[in-house]
Amino acid sequence: MPGSAGDVIEIRGLRVIGTHGVLLEEQERAQPFELDLDLAVDMAAAGASDDLGDTVDYGAVSQLAADLVGGPRSYALLEALATDMAGAILGLDPRIGAVTVALRKLRPPLPVDVATVGVRITRSR
């Protein structure tokens, strides 16, 4: 049975501490970020074989995303961080046809009471 174009690996609620933002205080003081990732991957082979080698290793994808958020580079904009992350994830495994990155700052320094701010982007091959 062939895989579906709608096959998706979901990674939800990945939390990482990073230093990203426009304000100087955001670049100097680490803050929490949360990610959701959707990977468009044909899962027919993995579904038939039950073998990790036949699918995308979502542990590796999670680690790559965590390394980008928690790494030494500081991004001013969530848009730029999400774009770089999507490109890196697409480059990780050719079986990933598309990726959606939802990236949220959990404690944004805004003068109003807001739980999170974030971006969601989708990139494909």
- C-beta of residue 48 within 8 angstroms of C-beta of residue 67: no
Rounded Cα distance between 66 and 69, Å, is: 5
Residue 27 has what pLDDT? Answer: 84
pLDDT score for 79: 98
Q: What is residue 28's predicted lDDT score, i.e. its pLDDT?
A: 85
What pLDDT score was predicted for residue 96? Answer: 97
Please calculate the CA angle 23-99-122 and round it to the nearest 5 degrees. 60
What is the predicted pLDDT for the residue at 107?
A: 85
pLDDT along the chain (125 residues), means of 10: 74 97 86 97 96 96 98 96 98 97 91 92 96
Rounded CA-CA distance 59/116 in Å is 25
Can you list the domains of the chain with their CATH numbers? 8-124 (3.30.1130.10)
Residue pair 45/55 in contact by the 8 Å Cβ criterion: yes
At residue 17, the pLDDT reads 97
Return the active site residues: 105
